[in-house]
Structure 1
Amino acid sequence: MIRFKTIVGSLILFICICSLNGCTRNDNAQLVKDYYNQLNQSNYSELSEFIGDSITISEGDYNMNYSTNDYYQFFQWDSVFNPKYEILAIKEIDNKVEISICKTCTRIEFLNQKPLISTEIIEIKNQKISKIKNIEMDSDFKLWNIKRGQMVTWIKKNHPELDGFIYDQTKIGAQNYLKAITLYKKSNN
């Protein structure tokens, strides 16, 4: 009986120490995995559970700060392109998660002709994703810019009703972006 009490007491002490020290290392990685899983399923109601009242997405010196509503609008825009994410590597560093991710979608396939592979640092606050910082990206931005420029010029000349699609980051803007890609591809076949 004394041995049983010692084991139970030790277990309770271990749980208390872990909760005081924030033993959430696996929780943060799982939170990030679940976030990308919901992105793959285009499920915003579940995805929103993984982000706080605001989220910052950074690339280089450019920071995009989103409220929950702003992020929903961005999510709708991005979802139109049917993105798919594959986690290539993941590791935890304090309250941050470093992740290597492969993203492909209609827009990326057209502009880059291969998936984007990036390394990101994801900051977690209060068990919610608060910041996603892209620290490295494998992309052919020269090809990307050439293809985008050619398509924008061609659309402006041949389908002026779609002109400006490149700047419209709403769901309708993304739908127009897809139309522009389709029309431009057909013109080159």
Structure 2
Amino acid sequence: MKATQAALGFRVKSGWAVAILMSGSVRSPHLCDSRVINLSDPCDPATRQPYHAAMGLLETNATKLKRRTQSVRRTTEQSVVDLLQRYIDNDYKIRFAGLVVGSVIDPRSIANPHIRAHALEGRLFRTTLAAALQSRRIRCAAFTERGAYATAAEALGKSPTQIKYTVTSLGDSANGAWRAEQKLAALAAWMALR
């Protein structure tokens, strides 16, 4: 049996991501799977916001940061391995993935330590997920949430209204939630079908 070509889309959050598997074509996308994966260790809450210290301050303890970021990398790697194995077992072949993120700002450009902690976490989860996918020969592209629909409209040759309608309609076949995170991950997967 020949494997079905598919693409992945992710809405990356702090410590977790929505993952969407989509097959079909740009003209006719088909939702195959929707789930949440861990990017942080569920048994270690500190890994969900590894750059935060107590009371929302920026963590500066190098030992704690090293332990937490290594845990994020291990958890993300295992989540990607498990996710891809599930799809391989179901005869899907994936070459491309899209990641929707909150921001791609350089954390060093942020003066406020608390906001810098959020930017560092955003970069950590985005780059760690991308690296885990790329190590399995899945090419990745990242888009910011703010411009995702405009980027998709241009890339897919459709109006933003058509894009939103299609993404919303894809949720009709989802078993489970179909909120903003799922819609953005579906949008990324749809763009990755190109």
Q: TM-score range by the shorter chain?
A: under 0.3
TM-score, structure 2 as length reference: 0.26
TM-score, structure 1 as length reference: 0.26
Specify the structure having the higher radius of gyration (Cα): 1
Name whichever structure is richer in strand by fraction: 1
Structure with greater contact order relative to length (CA < 8 Å, sep ≥ 6) = 2
